[in-house]
Amino acid sequence: MIAIFTAMKGEAAPFIDYLGLKSCGDISGIKLYSNERYLLAITGMGKINAACAVTRILTLYDDIKLAVNIGTCAGEKTGQTYLINKITDEDSSKDYYPDMLYKSPFDEICLHTSDSFKTDTCFEDSFGPFVYDMEGAAFFAASSSFLSPDKVILLKTVSDSGDPDIVTADYCKKLLAVNAASSIDFIEGIYSLLAESPYKEADILCEEYSTKLKCSEYMRNDLKQLIRFALSCNKDIKSLIESHLPVKNKEEGKKVLADVRQKLVE
């Protein structure tokens, strides 16, 4: 199943219509819409609402394979839809990096997130241009506790350049409806890839070796990327790992991952 999270009903409306989703009640105030393939949740605005909603839904629905945050943001180019390749939480100064493994019809950009509305028109820092919202960082952090980073996607459409008063429900619906079809096509493409080799085989191998290597969640994601790279290059990742087993603890597991990485790039 694919889970779509939006902050507001206006952002959800184009996708409810396009996918033919039906209301299926609410959980702890989170309004839900679904069909056989999709579950859409309206989280409410702000980081706390986003984090709570994502955690609640991904805990209850263990068949979700892909989590997508779709919504509006502040930025320079009104109407432009972006795939987010980096997230900066302005309140904590923490950065997050979604895995950019898929060919996208959308330009990529950094997203800044804060619990406050952005009311100035500065959308560039020392690293380059960015867009701004109030949920993205919390969505990614919460989703990454359940899914690997390649299964967490953020698509943001610029609604304003620091004037939140114009962002009404009807305005959001019309704005996001323009790219609803291309957004769903992109999401479907990712979902299909996840079921194919080497992705499926990598998931199986990762489950096996993450336990043997005493992996933390961060190490597990690193391991999965190494396995995918090895499979795509027809390299024997199993022999590389097996030659280091058994390991006694997480620190030894980290050394194995570093050695495997070095051998893969030789």
* CATH code of the domain containing 179: 3.40.50.1580
pLDDT of 39 strictly over 90: yes
Hey, which residues does 155 pair with through a beta bridge? 70, 83
How far lies 229's CA from each of 91, 100, 199, 236, in Å?
35, 14, 10, 11
- pLDDT, tens digit, for every residue of 163-172? 888 889 999 9
Question: Of the residues 193, 222, 251, which one is the last residue of a structural domain?
Answer: 193
266 vs 227: which has the higher pLDDT: 227
Statement to judge: residues 214 and 157 lie in one domain: no
Element (H, E) at 42: strand 38-42
**Percentage of the chain modeled with pLDDT above 70:** 99
Statement to judge: residues 224 and 106 lie in one domain: no
pLDDT of 6 = 98
Statement to judge: residues 178 and 258 lie in one domain: no
Mean pLDDT of 5-9: 97
Statement to judge: residues 121 and 222 lie in one domain: no
Statement to judge: residues 103 and 123 lie in one domain: yes
pLDDT of 198 = 64
Q: Which amino acid is at 213?
A: L
Question: Of the residues 193, 226, 246, which one is the last residue of a structural domain?
Answer: 193
**What is the number of domains present in the chain?**
2
Statement to judge: residues 99 and 181 lie in one domain: yes
Statement to judge: residues 100 and 35 lie in one domain: yes
pLDDT of 229 strictly over 90: no
- pLDDT, tens digit, for every residue of 49-77? 999 999 999 999 989 999 999 999 999 99
Its domain, for residue 152, covers: 2-193
Q: How far apart are CA 126 and CA 112, in angstroms?
A: 13
Mean pLDDT (the chain, rounded): 92
Q: Which two tokens stand for residue 93?
A: 């100064």
φ, ψ dihedrals at 234, nearest 5°: 60, 40
Statement to judge: residues 52 and 121 lie in one domain: yes
DSSP-assigned states of every residue in 246-262: --SSHHHHHHHHHHHHH
pLDDT of 235 strictly over 70: yes
Q: Whole-prediction pTM value?
A: 0.78
Statement to judge: residues 166 and 214 lie in one domain: no
User: Given pLDDT bands bounded at 50, 70 and 90, which one contains residue 222?
Assistant: confident
pLDDT of 113 strictly over 90: yes
pLDDT of 197 strictly over 70: no
Question: Of the residues 134, 165, 193, which one is the last residue of a structural domain?
Answer: 193
Statement to judge: residues 120 and 245 lie in one domain: no
Q: How far apart are CA 174 and CA 230, in angstroms?
A: 44
φ, ψ dihedrals at 78, nearest 5°: -60, 130
Statement to judge: residues 75 and 134 lie in one domain: yes
Statement to judge: residues 221 and 91 lie in one domain: no
